[in-house]
Amino acid sequence: MIRLFERIIGMADENQMTCCRMTLAQCHALVEVGRTKDISLNQLSQMLELDNSTLSRTVNNLVVSGLAERYEDPNDRRYIKIKLTEQGMMNFHAIEETMNTYYETLFQMIPEEKRDQVIDSIHILNEVGSKIMCCVKEKKNEE
């Protein structure tokens, strides 16, 4: 059941990815930067749970595509921050609108008396999934 759900969600992500002509990682990065307005690369790496090299490639592609720009943190020049360009903000809003509509429609199609149960189940899946990902990362670091 979870694999089927993952495929359904993946299809929504693939439709969005095709629409915006970017990878899923780029899409997630663009959305998180758009939500925060500007963010350090370290913070973005932690938020997306990506290693620095993967994040660097992802951000490079956003910069080269004209969707984001890097700049030194004015308070601490050792930190690099990223923010979206005007085109990046337009893409961010398009992604947010599309995904909000998709998930609102999905939620409305759930019988009203089951909605709280579904939300509780999603919370549990997120908590358990986060714990599993943490364990997987620890094992990789040990190897």
User: Which pLDDT does position 8 carry in this prediction?
Assistant: 66
Annotate 69-83 with DSSP letters as a single string. EEEEETTEEEEEEEE
Of the pLDDT bands very low, low, confident and very high (cuts 50, 70, 90), residue 113 is: very high
Q: Is the pTM for the entire model greater than 0.75?
A: no
CA 12 to chain centroid: 13
d(CA 117, CA 109): 14
Q: What are phi and psi of 99, to 5 degrees?
A: -70, -40
Helix (H, G, I), strand (E, B) or coil at 121: helix
Mean pLDDT of 113-125: 92
User: Which pLDDT does position 19 carry in this prediction?
Assistant: 52
User: Which pLDDT does position 18 carry in this prediction?
Assistant: 47
User: Which pLDDT does position 141 carry in this prediction?
Assistant: 59
Mean pLDDT of 94-119: 91
pLDDT digits (tens, 9 = 90+) for 55-106: 899 999 999 999 999 998 888 888 889 999 999 999 999 989 988 888 899 8
Give residues with Cβ within 8 angstroms of 77, minimum separation 6: none
pLDDT exceeding 70 applies to what percent of the chain? 80
d(CA 90, CA 62): 13
pLDDT exceeding 90 applies to what percent of the chain? 37
Please provide the average confidence, as pLDDT, over all residues in the chain. 83
User: Which pLDDT does position 71 carry in this prediction?
Assistant: 92
DSSP state of 68: E
Single-letter amino acid code for the residue at 59: V
